[in-house]
Amino acid sequence: MTMEASYLQKRDYQAVSYTHFMVDVLNSSRSLLVAILAVLIGLSNTQVAIVLLLYNVGNALTQPLFGRLADRIGPRWLVVGGMGWMIFFFSLAALAPPWPALFALTVAGLGSGAFHPTGTMVASQSSDVKRTQATSIFFMSGQLGLFIGPILAGILLEHYGRGGYIVLPLWALTAMASAWLWLSSKDVHHESGATEAKQVSVQEIVYRLRTPLAVLLALIIFCTSTISMSAINFAPKLFTEQGYSASYVGLLSGILMLGSAIGGVVGGMIADRRNGRLVIRIATIAAILPVIFYINAGDMMRLFLLLAAGFFIGMPHSVLVLMVHNLLPGQRATASGLALGFMFFSGSLGVLGVGMVADRIGLALSLQLTAVLAFVAFLAALVLPVGSEQFRAARAH
């Protein structure tokens, strides 16, 4: 049995990967619900961005806290509880009147915040030999959920209205059941890591994050997250306003996520064979042209460009998370919570900025201008220190 097969056959790895798929089916389909509710209620681009920011406040700011808790008590209750929370509030979003539905979509983010650092902890420690690859495949399962979520939501919403959306949270009950059956209440792979996490103070964590590497990673994460989240959340609104059907808008969102899923795995494989800095540099410079041109492309060319944009934006995802792990060795859930929480929160702030600009110059041009952030991330990646590759040495132990 190869090392690659060993982690793929672990029940806890399968459980968190499947749950990640369902969590992000709900996360990605949310943008279509928000787009429909925004048109019904008459929200501006800035107001839509505020709704998304509120969702990600719950999702992002709680992730370090949930990650630190997962390092202490293990993954089971946080994964099951997070999935259950999302199922309840997304069901409410499908069935409630517009304003309560919009409220439900904001508080649902707490469930995603509980799941992501915990699931990443389980995935990243499932293989010491192919750590980046194992993590990237875990993230790919989420990206596949981001791919299929808006497509299914578009079909359900177009044919059955908002009430038909209830199918997706009901489906997610199967993921909650698998997490309950296959996850332990303790960190079964690396108990010593959890013990170390208990002994490290918050002040020590802050000290470790006050480094040039942490600043550069924060800048790269902010830029790439803003590009991705702006496309995910504003492109559906733009094309809905232009009169495209919900099915087509869902397909566009799904194609972007499919590209990100493929790119994440390819990026993880390159990082395992070469280095993560190379992945970030290639991804950020290559994302510029697809991000600029997908808005005004023809219908078929737009699909190809969105696939390419998603591919390059998604390439460095697992690499960036594992680089943050290097800053906090032995505290994988805490580090995952900090990395993913910052991704979601900083990206939400970026989306708010894009929304405010869009109300002045137009949504289409604002989305094209996010390509500037890709170039900024590329410049930051050029000066990443060699120390950012420590996770390669860690895999040899």
Judged by average pLDDT, the poorest of 177-181, 237-241, 287-291 is 237-241
DSSP string covering 18-38, please? HHHHHHHHHHHHHHHHHHHHH
What pLDDT does 191 receive?
Answer: 42
What pLDDT does 139 receive?
Answer: 85
Mean pLDDT for all residues in the chain = 84
- List pLDDT tens digits, range 312-354: 998 998 889 888 877 877 677 788 888 888 888 888 889 889 9
What pLDDT does 2 receive?
Answer: 44
At 392, the pLDDT band (50, 70, 90 cuts) reads very low
What pLDDT does 214 receive?
Answer: 86
At 188, the pLDDT band (50, 70, 90 cuts) reads very low
- List pLDDT tens digits, range 47-100: 877 887 777 777 777 888 888 888 888 888 999 999 999 999 999 999 999 999
Rounded average pLDDT over 19-25: 95
At residue 161, φ and ψ (nearest 5 deg) are 80, -175
Confidence check: pLDDT of 361 > 90: yes
Note the CATH number of domain 10-394: 1.20.1250.20
Buried b (16+ CB within 10 A) or exposed e, 268-289: bbbbbeebbbbbbbbbbbbbbe
At 185, the pLDDT band (50, 70, 90 cuts) reads low
pTM: 0.72
The 3-state DSSP class for residue 296 equals coil
Distance from C-alpha of 114 to C-alpha of 2, rounded to nearest angstrom: 32
Look at 138 and 330; give whichever has higher pLDDT. 138
Taken in order 155, 161, 162, 167, the sign of the CA dihedral is negative
